[in-house]
Amino acid sequence: MKASHRKDVIIARIIFAIICAALLAGIISLIVWLHGRNAGKNQTPETEITNNAPPEDNSNLPPVTEQPLDEDGQSVWTSTDGVNFRAEPNTDSEILTVLVTGTKLTLLGEENGWVQAEYNGQKGYVSSDYVTDQEPDTTTQETE
């Protein structure tokens, strides 16, 4: 085989490899885009949310007010869907269950941005960003 022919074969292989890499990058980008587009759809209360970090826009969440507790505790409600009810007051602790909007909790205390509460006889923690002392109005549900 002539040296010039070998050179052409090498160049053709390099061009083929570049085209394959570009196609693969395009396919991966399409998959990531589609996954991100569908990420918020079809979530159920059983869907595990990985942390209790507050959303970037907190304007739609009612404020949590600190009130003295009576002996039996007071009721609070979750203010958003997908709230993690955790074993300890940190985002690395075990998720005991995932709560939906309007879930009633018995408030036991509050510390460092976490609410200690009781739900179905189980004690746990919820980020204070996701609870309110105002009972939700279940008569006016918005539909999308």
Q: What is the pLDDT of residues 23-42, one digit of tens each?
A: 999 999 998 888 877 765 55
Residues 90 and 125 in one domain: yes
Average pLDDT, the chain: 75
Give 81-92 pLDDT, tens digit per residue.
788 889 999 989
**Does the pLDDT value for residue 109 go beyond 80?**
yes
Whole-model pTM above 0.75?
no
Q: What are the tokens at 130? A: 């996701």
CATH code of 88's domain: 2.30.30.40
Cβ neighbours of residue 95 under 8 Å, at least 6 residues apart? 48, 49, 84, 85, 86, 87
Look at residue 56 and tell me if it is in a domain: yes
Q: What are the tokens at 2? A: 């002539």
Domain that residue 15 falls in: 1-42
- Cross-strand partners of 132: 77
Q: How confident is the model at residue 64 (pLDDT cuts 50, 70, 90)?
A: very low
The domain tally of the chain equals 2
Helix H or strand E segment including 12:
helix 3-38
